[in-house]
Structure 1
Amino acid sequence: MSILPLKKLSIQDEEKGQRIDNFLFRHYKNIPKSHIYQLLRSGQIRVNSKRINASYRLEIGDIIRIPPIKIAEKNFIQKTPLALSSFFTFEKLFEDDALLIIDKPAGMAVHGGSGISFGVIEQLRAQNSSWKFLELVHRLDRETSGVLLLAKKRSALVDLHRQIREGLTEKHYLVMVKGEWRNSKQHVKLALNKYITAAGERRVAVSTGKRKDSKPMLAHTIFKLQKSWKNFSLLDAELKTGRTHQIRVHLAHLGFPIIGDDKYGNFEINKLLAKNLNLTRMFLHAHTMQIIHPISGERMKLQSPLPEDLQKFLDGLDKSCGTYWG
C-alpha cells in the first residue's frame, strides 16, 4: 500500500478555466482516473473548503485540498524518471513564452502509452521541469515527421484549439504514393469509421454505411500533385478536417497507398523499398502549418524541410525516372 500525503494547491493564471478533473489527472498521473472521480464524488477533494463536482472550472486563487490518498500497489503506476542520457534534442522551429514548435522526427510517438514509455511531450516536460504548463496542440502519427505545435500557456492552447475548430489554421503534408496520380487538384470527402481488428489493433476505414453500431465522421482532404514519375507521385495533402489516419486511409481507398505505410500500404512494395533503397519508414511529412499567434495575433507560417531519408529517396526517383518496380 502506498500513501500520497495531503496536499494544498493554489491555482495560478495558466490553470484558470480548467475542469478540476482534468487538472487532477495532470497532477496525479500515477492514480487511476476512477479513483480521482471517487474522491470528488465523496467530497474528499475540496475547493476553498467546499464540495465541488468533476465539471467545476478553476478560478485564480482557488485552494484545492487533496487528502492523503491510499492506493494499492497493483493500481499504482510507477513512473521511472528519464535519465539525462536518454533525452532527445528536438529541433525548434519557433519558441516564445506561449508556444513551442518543433520538428518531430519519424519513429517517435507524441505521447506515452500503448507500450511506449516516453513520447515527445514526456521528454520535453522532463527536459524543462521549470515550465508550469506544456501541452500538445495537435498530434502526429508515430511514423510521421514534421511540424508539431505545443502550448506553454493554457490560454494559447485554448485559442489554438478554437482556430482549429473554426478552420483558421492550415496544415499541409508531403506524401509519396505508389501509382500515377492524374489530377492536378482533387478534393476527397469520405466518411471514416474506427474499428478494432481481430488482433486488437485500432484501425480506420472508409465508411460503407452498412455498420449500424458506428458513427462515421466526414473527412476532407485536398490533394495537389507536386511531381510524378512512372510509378510514383508526390502530393501535397491539405487537411480540412483532422480525423485519425485521414490521409493514409483516403489514399489507400483510392488505390494510391503511401509508400512505407505499415498499416494501409502495399506491403510487398514496402519490403522491396526497404531492402533495395533503405526506405524503412512511411513517406508522410508535415511540412507546413499556418496559425495566428494566440497572443500577438500575427499570422505565422511554420515550415519543416523534408528529412534526409525522404529527400534521398526523392533524389533517387529523379535519377531513375521513377522506374523502381513497375
Structure 2
Amino acid sequence: MSEDIPQPLSKKHNLEKHDEPLEILYKDSCLVAVNKPSGLLVHRSMIDRYETRFALQEVRNQIGQRVYPLHRLDKPTSGILLFALSPEIARQMGQQFESNRVKKNYLAIVRGYAPESGVIDHALKEEMDKMADRKARQNKPAQDAVTEFTRLATIEIPVAIDRYPQSRYSLVEARPKTGRKHQIRRHMKHIAHPIIGDAKHGKGNHNRYFATHFAADRLLLACIEMEVIHPVTGKPLSLRASLDKRFTDLINRFGWADRVSECLRKEKQ
C-alpha cells in the first residue's frame, strides 16, 4: 500500500494532555487497571530524577488508596498497567507474572516489511542504567526471552528517508512469552525491524520523520490487551486499552483501522 507524500501535521493538535486523570479500565476490591499514556513513569526512578508525575501516585490519588504495581511498562510505552490493592493480592498476582502465565498483546509500528509471522527466541542480557542500576550485579548471564509476532499490515511511502527511494513500515502484533526489560523493543531490533520512536534501539532518521510529518513523537508501542487469572474468583480477567490519539491518527492515516479491529475481534473470540 502506498500514499502521496504526507504533509506535516500540527503537533499541538495531536499531543495528549498529561494533566488529565488516568483512564481506569477495571477496578474491584483486589485490582485496578489503567491506560498509561506514553511518557509517564510507573513510579519514581533515578532514570528521570526530575520527573514529578508517576502512574502509581496518580492512581493512588484517583482512587484514594494505596496501590502496588504488578509489572513494568516502559516510560515511552502506553497501554494496560495493572495494580494490586493490597500486599497479599500483589504477592498472589506476582506469581502469575513471574511464571509468565499472563497473556499480553502489543501493537507496534516498525521499520520495513516484517515477516508475516514468527517467533523470536533470543536470550537477552539485562540492560543496566548507569544511575538506577549502579549497585546491581553487572555480569548477569543472558536470560531466555521469547516473543511471538504477526504482521497485520504494511505501507510504502514514496519518500527517501534512508538509502532507498521508498520507505516501508509494518503494523505488528507482538505477544511476549517472557517478561524481560525492553524485550519487544530489543527483539524487533534483533530481526532488523526496530519500532518507530525507539530512541535507544531504533533509527533516528525514521523517528524524526514520524515526529515531524505525523506529529508522532512517541514510541509506537502499546499494550492493548492483557489476560490474568483473578486472584479471588480464579476466572480469566480480560483487559483492553484503546490507543491514544497520536497512535490512532497514524493507524487511520495509513488505512490500517480495519486490521486493528480484526485483531481485537480475533483475540476476543
Report the TM-score, using the length of structure 1 for normalisation: 0.63
8 Å contact from structure 2 (residues 60, 67) kept in 1: yes
Q: What is the deviation of 1:127?
A: 4.0
| Cα distance, 1:166–1:150 mapped onto 2, change above 3 Å | same
Unaligned runs of 5+ in 2: 1-17, 157-167, 257-269
Aligned to 2:160: none
Task: Map 1:180-191; keep pairs closer than 5 Å.
Answer: 180-182=113-115, 184-191=116-123
Aligned to 2:30: 98
Aligned to 2:54: 119
- Out of 187, 190, 209, the position equivalent to 1:272 is 209
1:166-194 Cα distance to aligned partner (Å, 9 max, x none)? 33210110011010012x32111111113
Task: Map 1:1-326; keep pairs closer than 5 Å.
Answer: 88-114=20-46, 115=49, 116-129=51-64, 131=65, 133-182=66-115, 184-195=116-127, 200=130, 213-230=139-156, 231-318=168-255
The residue type equivalent to 1:119 in the other structure is: F
8 Å contact from structure 2 (residues 127, 181) kept in 1: no
The residue type equivalent to 1:110 in the other structure is: V
Distance 2:52 2:175 in 1: 31
Aligned to 1:73: none
Distance 2:244 2:180 in 1: 24
8 Å contact from structure 1 (residues 97, 153) kept in 2: no
Distance 1:162 1:262 in 2: 32
Which is higher, the Rg of structure 1 or of structure 2? 1
Q: Percent identity?
A: 29
Distance 1:294 1:146 in 2: 22
SS at match of 2:83: strand
Distance 1:293 1:194 in 2: 30
Q: What is the deviation of 1:267?
A: 0.4
Q: What is the Cα-based RMSD across aligned positions, in Å?
A: 2.2
Distance 1:201 1:158 in 2: 28
8 Å contact from structure 2 (residues 25, 33) kept in 1: yes
Distance 1:227 1:249 in 2: 21
1:103-157 Cα distance to aligned partner (Å, 9 max, x none)? 111110000122123311122224444x2x4100111001111111000022221
Q: What is the deviation of 1:201?
A: 7.2
The residue type equivalent to 1:187 in the other structure is: V
SS at match of 1:194: coil
SS at match of 2:231: coil
How many pairs align?
A: 221
| Cα distance, 1:195–1:297 mapped onto 2, change above 3 Å | closer
Task: Tell which has more relative contact order, 1 or 2 (C-alpha 8 A, sep 6+).
Answer: 2
Distance 1:153 1:174 in 2: 30
Q: What is the deviation of 1:165?
A: 2.7
Distance 1:248 1:236 in 2: 13
Unaligned runs of 5+ in 1: 1-85, 204-211, 320-326
Distance 2:131 2:189 in 1: 18
Distance 1:278 1:127 in 2: 30
Report the TM-score, using the length of structure 2 for normalisation: 0.76
